[in-house]
Amino acid sequence: MKKNLLLQFLFSAILFGSCSTYVQIYYLDSKDVSKVNEDFVFENDTVKISYFFWAKRGVIAFEIFNKLDKPLYVDWKKSSYIYKDEKLNFWDESESVTTLGVSRNYLYSGPVYINNRLTLIENGIYASTSKKEKPERITFIPPKSSYSRSQFHILNFDGYSLPTDIPLQNVISGNTSLKVYNYNVTRNDSLAPQKLFRNFLTFSLTEDIKDEFYLDNGFFIKSITELSDVDFLTVTGNNLNKNDKFYIEIPDEKSIYYRKQ
């Protein structure tokens, strides 16, 4: 209970400390990855990859479990987060964190899911001119063990301007009535295209990566819900483990409420 109250306070401070008064919740889906309850999980005979997206602007957080009885290797130089057709590198040989070749808006640091728990990390990736130890290119994952990673936000902007003809709906959450706008994303929708982002990973059973194989997990936005920050806190207050969705605080001028005035 204390943990839930602390997390509610954390989200309240983030929301009410900003200029935003509206929030969009992005519901995700995939044709490549299975969905179990609210979790996305890819699994074959070799690996099990669990995804955890819930964060402001979303986060590419995932856990790789080696199902084999022998070591597994991940080559981060040959792995990428791909937003639409933009490739963002997981690895760069430079020791400076400013030379990752990505926009500052994509870099993520903050709460992540590790072993299916929301965890606050102190050593995230920051845009900085300070020097750090050269990042690991090849990650060794022992048999029957896991490795977790979080590096990029899903989106680097402050939300979509949804059509103003969407009807306002009353939704019951617990004992509370909420006013929301729900937008269902259609195929090839210009607002939120299919396969919005992909997680491309290169694996091998040898450290020299001679027998590499690839996994390419794509995701798209299924629907978007827009609501006030007060109603958002009501929805998320008792259930933060929403691994199949994420949220964005949007400025007033992008909200349906504001544009309908």
Tens digits of per-residue pLDDT, 179-230?
899 999 887 777 666 668 999 999 999 999 889 999 999 999 999 999 998 8
pLDDT at 125: 42
More confident position, 67 or 252:
67
Q: Which amino acid is at 163?
A: P
* 162/9: higher pLDDT: 162
pLDDT value of residue 40: 95
Q: Indicate if the pLDDT at residue 17 is higher than 70.
A: no
pLDDT digits (tens, 9 = 90+) for 128-140: 444 456 778 999 9
Type and span of the H or E element at 64: strand 59-66
Q: Percent of the chain at pLDDT above 90?
A: 43
Three-state SS string over 79-143 comes to CEEEECCEEEECCCCCCEHHHCCCCHHHECCCCEEECCEEECCCCCCCCCCCECCCCCCEEEECC
pLDDT at 100 over 70: no
Name the residue with higher pLDDT: 104 or 141: 141
How large is the average pLDDT for residues 170-185?
Answer: 84
Top pLDDT among 45 and 96 is at: 45
Residue 26 structure tokens: 């992005």
pLDDT digits (tens, 9 = 90+) for 68-88: 999 999 999 999 999 988 899
- Quick one: pLDDT band at residue 1, thresholds 50, 70, 90? very low
The pLDDT value recorded for residue 91 is 87
**169: which 2 tokens?**
């709906």
Mean pLDDT for 36-63 is: 92
% of the chain at pLDDT higher than 70: 71
Residue 241: its pLDDT value, please? 54
DSSP state of 9: H
Residue 77 per-residue DSSP state:
G
Query: What pLDDT, on the 0 to 100 scale, is given for residue 15?
Result: 47
Please tell me the predicted confidence (pLDDT) of residue 101.
46
Question: Residue 132 has what pLDDT?
Answer: 55
Give the separation between CA 121 and CA 108, rounded to whole angstroms: 11
pLDDT at 96 over 70: no
Which has more pLDDT, 5 or 109? 109
**Mean model confidence pLDDT for the chain:** 79
pLDDT at residue 133, as a whole number: 62
